Structure 1
Amino acid sequence: MNLPSRVQLIDVGPRDGLQNEKQPVPAAVKIELVHRLQAAGLCEIEVTSFVSPKWVPQMADNAEVMAGITRLPNVRYSVLTPNLQGFQASVTSKPDEIVVFGAASEAFSQKNINCSIAESIERFAPVVEAALAAGIAVRGAMSCTVGCPYEGDIAPERVAYLAGLMKSIGVQRVDVADTIGVGTPLKVQEAIEATLQHFEVAHVSGHFHDTYGQALSNTLAALQMGVWNFQSSVAGLGGCPYAKGATGNVATEDVVYMLHGMGIETGIDLDALIDAGAFISDFLGRPSGSRVARAVISKRNNS
């Protein structure tokens, strides 16, 4: 097994995790969550999205949140920019990295952003160009790489096609995302193999949702291929609006527990991470979505 000795996690909780929450989360709470995550040792945090508040009201405080963070020199702060307008709005917040996105499914692309995969990448070309010119890194989120709510299974060739388009416009690294959480290990490995036709393994990250309880299995499958970047969400925050009953992102605490149990370094203090998850879960008024966090908190309470 070609397991990495160290893994870098990108916590997407503040953005991907909170964007679909029905109750408003104040900027001060989002800022505190970011502070707690970086204090726990997270070196990459996806903070917010510069999208129209009409579409995602939860992210209307994007500039306020970015301005309120006490930045650490070793932490990379990324933001999602769905178009050139969003990118231009983000520049004054000085993100270290912007995230653009595309789907490996034509049906998902049409229903989600009303254009084909090729057209979506064409739209992002000027965004990527502007970001690179400004010295801002660019990551590409590739959604529906193993399954789509409309098309079903996605062929690896479609993933390779999308990865090639991303590479062609200057995207520096990509996420292989199982957006609706239907993937299983061999399918995930096929999607990663397809991506590796265009990107080195160091520039590929895994983003697995846990809808069918496969996210940790899929993480292990990616680790076995040498992937050492992964996205996860503290307390398992986030659901997928396209999959009924989807639990959303795999919990960062669960991934860290697994990695530490395998002797793989993350630089993350699991107890501090659990506390960060408890903080946001308490605010939202529900238990953490992390099984590890629930087990540890239960043990703490009974000791």
Structure 2
Amino acid sequence: MLSYQHGYHAGNYADVLKHIALTRLLSYLTLKEKPLFYLETHAGKGFYDFRDRQAIKTGEYKKGIQQIWTERKKAPSLLQPYLQMINQVNLHSELRYYPGSPMIAINLLRDQDRMFFCELHPREFEELNQLDTQGKRVHFSPDDGLAALKAMLPPPEKRGLIFIDPAYEVKDEYKTIAQAVQAAYSRFATGVYCIWYPIVDRFLVNKLDRGMQAINGANRIRIEFNLNDPAMVGMTGTGLWIINPPYTFAEEMKTVCSFLKNYFNSGHATFSIEVF
């Protein structure tokens, strides 16, 4: 299915959490001079305007990044790389533009690193393909991201971050994503994998969880952030599975989530970080 367009949801609380997590992973993986391979399976268009009709229609960013933006001076230092990128694309103090994960990766990765972004939706890909690559080693593909897992792994760099951020439009995706990650891990067991998922139906999330837990020999972290808002319909929380996380990652994300829960449905939001 190709109906999903992320512009309706850009900058919401789920984006904030996963993009901070992405900056933490990339910051750690670029401490070494050795080249890194970055593969993103569901890239979207990579850059968003909150004056766009999609963002105006839902206004989700107002309960997401806007809550943090107005209080950014209070944010812990771990959030600074993420907030600095948002600041760079907003010349004035007004929050209008938002960098998606492709723009974040291009900004944080280096000349020696290699990036491969997949996006199936034709209109989303058309805009993604116009993203400024800053002269770095970037390739944009209109092909299926899960197929790229088979074709691109293991990478010659022998170091990599695989960022998997599907729409989960089809219920089977909770199962097929887990199967794709299992197959990818069997070929590239030293890679770092970051898999996002929405918490809409716990029965479906459990399918993904079982698949992640079935990966033998991998160090794994599961992060969940729940708004606990009984009035909400649809996605009530957001989650991340990280395979082969940096040793500092769990503690860093504990600091991050502790800060975010003061702004996203404050007084009710909860989070959990589990190490497997």
Per the normalisation by structure 1, the TM-score is 0.43
- Structure-2-length-normalised TM-score: 0.46
Identify, as 1 or 2, the structure richer in helix.
1
